[in-house]
Structure 1
Amino acid sequence: MTTLRSTLDFLLYNWLQAETLNTRERFADHSRETFDAVLDTCERIAREKYAPFNRTVDTHEPHFDGERVTLPQATKDAYDAYAASGMLSAAQDYDIGGMQLPYTVDAAANAFFAVASISISSSLLSVGNANLLMVHGTDLQKKVFALNEFSGRFSGTMCLSEPQAGSSLSDVATRAVPDGEAFESDPLGPRYRLTGHKMWISSGEHELSENIVHLVLAKIPGADGKLVPGTRGISLFIVPKNLVDTEGNLTGVRNDVALAGLNHKLGWRGTTNTLLNFGEGKYPVAGRAGAVGYLVGEAGRGLACMFHMMNEARIGIGMAATMLGLAGYYASLDYAKNRPQGRLVGASGKDAAQPQVRIIEHADVKRMLLAQKSYGEGALALNLFCARLVDEQHTGEPDAADEARLLLEVLTPIAKSWPSEFCLEANSLAIQIHGGYGYTRDFPVEQYWRDNRLNMIHEGTHGIQAMDLLGRKVLMEGGKGLALLAGRINGTVQRALQVPRLAAHANALAGALQQVGAATKAAWATGEPGDALANAVPYMQAFGHTVLAWVWLDLALATLAKDAAVAQPASVGRMGAMQFFFHYELPKIGAWLQVVSTRDATCAQMPEDAF
């Protein structure tokens, strides 16, 4: 983790200037010393409680005996250590037990857990769940549910998908009806009874915490008893596994939420992933079927509330994908430095009498390592930049805060999707560097690939993120967010043009930005969503590569500011990764944007029976 720590230090202090946040009232008690203490603590816990057990939780999957789900003891020990560290509430106010830590530092500190074991470090949903309730819940809901999640006493989930609906939330069929006389009298909120099924629920059943707080999307029937079509009728409910009183104490009554089964996954095997039945009557409350749920916010506004958590989760998934990519990079770099194989080709060919060289000396292995480094470290920088925008949105001056909000809207699909695709490719390259050994379980890189393959799917699939980007985010508020991003990119271009060794890269980035802008207009030239969105994924790939090229150019400027002579190995590596990205990756956007600009209909018009 030494390499990760030095990378984080550079990104936090030399690039993002995290120390300047201490001039703001919310963070005035902090300093670099307190930030470093948090990083030190998280690095130690991750090294001691997470990393040694990453393979253990992969090979000993959660087990359901019909009543209880059991996990390895290592998972419980790691959960308890994380909760005890205070990191669940690190960004929260002092008066509820938080540290008022900048989200930028919070995100950086959590990187250690993700790189050590993504399966064990699954507490982010609890934080997102509690954060949602802190914004949309009543005072009592915050006290009873959110604060207990921040302490680690309770944990949380998000329950959106259903077996018949998948990502199509318009087709949610879980019903919520008022719970008789308790409807308006329960102090925890308007009380409903829910019936339905939820699929793909991470951490939906376990015994790591005293209680599990499910946030469930469901529809309240109209006066005719029918569910309102589309997303307009969706409401959000707190559905605890065990019912509690107004002090958060367990009442001894199990709610009517039953585990129907565990999903056996390709990766993330250390995290329970479940199908939950709500209101099937296995645990009737007061003698009646139906899971007790408390309305959050306004009826019919559930999806707007849930997006608060979903957007946090999407950035969290981007960070998870990033750290898996970096874990594979570190493993394959170590292997390449120690594995002797083959000889270099000289003027007279190979001399078999010479000793073998380490594979890191081969140009193609360096290519694969540089690709991984450029993907992983670039994605980490992007995710921390987004975390810095969160701090700006919450603590900046009004104009700066609104600009941060818009930039986050545009960048969130990229922060989730780009690492999910290209850090997965990094994991594939890590396997390739290991050769045949990489395809065995003797080395960890195959697990990193399996774990990372999920990230293109959950919290909004790749195609959904692409349609969100091209269909909504670049158009919203008259394209203001896209214009702000272009302004940031052009600012970096102008600074880099003044540095001779970066001028060519600056011109390449300016050209890429122009291509993206032209393709955006061309995609919507007919005004028909079907024409534009048929090639949304290639658009997102090109857009993401342009954003990452910008990040790398900005990192290069920060590198030169720290080490003008590029004399330190870390500086050489950073500049090399930047150059690799511009030479090997950025030119790919032309092919992606060609089909976008011409609104190529090859895919959209392919008849089903031709397959």
Structure 2
Amino acid sequence: MSLRPTLDFLLYGWLDIERLNQRPRFADHSRETFDAVLDTCERIARDKYAPNNRIVDTQEPRFDGEKVIQPQATHDAHKAFVDSGMLSAAQDYEVGGMQLPYTVQTAANSFFSMASASIGSHMLTSGNANLLMVHGTPMQQAVFARNEFSGRWAGTMCLSEPQAGSSLSDVATRAVPDGPNFQLDPLGHRYRLTGNKMWISAGDHELTENIVHIVLAKIPDEHGKLVPGTRGLSLFIVPKWLVAVKDPRPGSSPRKEEGADEMPVALAGRNDVALAGLNHKLGWRGTTNALLNFGEGRFLVDGKPGAVGYLVGQPGKGLHCMFHMMNEARIGVGIAATMLGMAGYYASLDYAKSRPQGRPVGPGGKDAATPQVRIIEHADVRRMLLAQKSYCEGALALELYCARLVDEQKTGNPEEADESRLLLEVLTPIAKSWPSEWCLEANSLAIQVHGGYGYTRDFPVEQYWRDNRLNMIHEGTHGIQAADLLGRKVLMEDGRGMQLVATRMRATIARARSVPVLAGHSSALEDALQRILGATRAAWATGNAREALANAVPYMQAFGHGVLAWIWLDVAERALRGDPSGVLPATLGRLGATDYFFHYELPKLGAWLNVVERLDGTCARLPEEAF
């Protein structure tokens, strides 16, 4: 089964992406150029990623004491991706980009995530470079970001530490000014970093010439002490290999030379960044995951220990800068989760169509002399397939909707841009967490459809589940996303973002109410919306954050289901505009998924919100010894 018809409908039939070509930034593009990008990425994913998904799972990266070794398939896939230009697809022409809408880039990247998320999506490299294009100096952009966009270098995000995990307040990595070099280096204020970073995806490898680590660290105060909490966090560029800028003009500003893709630079020896070990993971085994030591003295720089790093932005503003990358990474995680779920759905659908087993319920069903039926003819198998379809296609629509908001934020008129910014703030925790939970459930159902075969390595669905299990954890765990949503996002700017979501939902409800087959769903969504708004008020009725956030995850589950019901209703209404009789197979499928979601999934919202509304303290008040 092909993903392409679904993407084409969502991009052109639902989001009307071609309208963006009327804006100056995208004026050179047309449906033909968008389709060409999708065709190229689909082909690379089919030829270089999908055939090697099992290889990179079984041949894990290993460290031989000097370098990380990965199968040739990983190197070939990385080169094909770099050659496609997708790392800089949404960037300006001036930095080697295509000025594609972010929505099209997201859709194109979905092919790679579905073919083999384990090989890697390169989202951290593009996110790293994008952060520098906003917060870096012109020289940092020219040297680091451009080399990342070209694929010559890779990028990481180094936040977590062994003793701190997700608690960034407890980061202990230190950064001190590098003596007389502090203000003399053309790459920025130069520091020496010491500390350890854990769970660093793509933290070490041989796929690129250099690896640009973006590192959170604390600058000691005048007494040599680290400022407690997140206020003291600053952000640094710490390359694996030191960089020498070859532009000889002292005091000159960096500029792109005629015909050059990036600032002319050379590698100038190892920085004091050492691989301490590779983590052995349940899934996503094709991508290295590392413990990195900064400043342990294995590689001395100028005869002394300490990893050389360059300050990004202002001291103490590191978390503000890092959120630019984290939010982009969260949409990337949502896409990865969605496409792993989609891969499992397609595999189980193909299996269900071909696997004969059992006989129909009813007269003659127990006659062993009659032929067996394919398992797709059993109602419970259809239930599991329809659940997967509703989760995965709905999640894909949500991710593309959020990507469209990014384009609106960057190129819309001031009012549209501001609304899109705020909507994206509220929806980002859902875009990350909802697919991570429910497309993982889709993978579990894909295993179930396969029966015992699904639990073996002879079929791909067990790997899809293992790869997807990471997505509820990285880039902010489920609990962190829930606390962010209920504790900050729905309250920000006096609840204006929440009201914008409600306004968009009501617009869909109004349109769908005039469509007879959708009228009942419109009423159900209106009721769900009122319940979510009421639960939000109830959670904060006492003003006690401890009470409000005790049930943040059930709140997020309910909010997410409300958002997905809205997305499905909007998709169904648009599908019926193009096929009013609703007889085309694709329309029937979308209506069926909408019906399933409203009949089987949306009713769960009430149970989740019950504990939120009554400030249920069951979990919070149980004494530790009772566990």
TM-score greater than 0.5 by the shorter chain? yes
User: 1:388-427 residue pairs with structure 2 within 5 A?
Assistant: 388-427=404-443
User: Contact 1:486/1:513 (CA < 8 Å) preserved in 2?
Assistant: yes
Matched, 1:438 2:437: no
Aligned residue in 1 for 2:386? 370
Aligned residue in 2 for 1:505? 521
User: Contact 2:109/2:121 (CA < 8 Å) preserved in 1?
Assistant: no
User: Contact 1:122/1:271 (CA < 8 Å) preserved in 2?
Assistant: no
The alignment partner of 1:188 has SS state of coil
Aligned residue in 2 for 1:385? 401
Aligned residue in 2 for 1:521? 537
Equivalent position amino acid for 2:194 in 1:
T
Matched, 1:108 2:107: yes
What do the CA deviations read for 1:298-327 (whole angstroms, capped 9, x no partner)?
Answer: 000000000000000001000000000000
User: Contact 1:242/1:250 (CA < 8 Å) preserved in 2?
Assistant: no
1:433 Cα offset (Å): 0.3
User: Contact 2:244/2:268 (CA < 8 Å) preserved in 1?
Assistant: no
1:348 Cα offset (Å): 5.4
What do the CA deviations read for 1:142-181 (whole angstroms, capped 9, x no partner)?
Answer: 0000000000000000000000000000000000000010
- How far apart in 2 are the matches of 1:63 and 1:252? 26
The alignment partner of 1:604 has SS state of helix
Count of aligned residue pairs for this structure pair = 610
Equivalent position amino acid for 1:16 in 2:
L
Equivalent position amino acid for 1:336 in 2:
A
The alignment partner of 1:206 has SS state of coil
Aligned residue in 1 for 2:250? none
1:245 Cα offset (Å): 1.4
- How far apart in 2 are the matches of 1:588 and 1:122? 33
User: Contact 2:69/2:206 (CA < 8 Å) preserved in 1?
Assistant: yes
Give the alignment partner of residue 429 of structure 1, picking from 445, 467, 472. Answer: 445
Aligned residue in 2 for 1:598? 614
**TM-score, length of structure 2 as denominator length:** 0.97
The alignment partner of 1:258 has SS state of strand
The alignment partner of 1:318 has SS state of helix
- How far apart in 2 are the matches of 1:72 and 1:142? 32
Indicate the RMSD between aligned Cα atoms, in angstroms: 0.7
What do the CA deviations read for 1:515-573 (whole angstroms, capped 9, x no partner)?
Answer: 00000000001000000000000000000000000000000011101111112111111
User: Contact 1:155/1:209 (CA < 8 Å) preserved in 2?
Assistant: yes
Aligned residue in 1 for 2:557? 541
User: 1:211-250 residue pairs with structure 2 within 5 A?
Assistant: 211-246=210-245, 247=263, 249-250=265-266
Aligned residue in 2 for 1:482? 498
Matched, 1:53 2:52: yes
The alignment partner of 2:619 has SS state of coil
Structure 1: gaps (5+ residues) = none
User: Contact 2:38/2:108 (CA < 8 Å) preserved in 1?
Assistant: yes
Aligned residue in 1 for 2:259? none
1:488 Cα offset (Å): 0.1
**TM-score, length of structure 1 as denominator length:** 0.99
- How far apart in 1 are the matches of 2:107 and 2:366? 46
- How far apart in 1 are the matches of 2:303 and 2:492? 49
The alignment partner of 2:226 has SS state of coil
- How far apart in 1 are the matches of 2:366 and 2:423? 53
Aligned residue in 2 for 1:138? 137
Equivalent position amino acid for 1:228 in 2:
V
- How far apart in 2 are the matches of 1:122 and 1:334? 26
1:3 Cα offset (Å): 2.4
Matched, 1:580 2:605: no
1:349 Cα offset (Å): 4.6
What do the CA deviations read for 1:199-253 (whole angstroms, capped 9, x no partner)?
Answer: 0000000000000000000000000100000000000000000011124533331
Aligned residue in 2 for 1:466? 482
1:346 Cα offset (Å): 1.3
- How far apart in 2 are the matches of 1:531 and 1:248? 56
The alignment partner of 1:184 has SS state of coil
Structure 2: gaps (5+ residues) = 246-262
1:338 Cα offset (Å): 0.4
- How far apart in 1 are the matches of 2:170 and 2:69? 33
The alignment partner of 1:525 has SS state of coil
User: Contact 1:145/1:248 (CA < 8 Å) preserved in 2?
Assistant: no
The alignment partner of 1:252 has SS state of strand
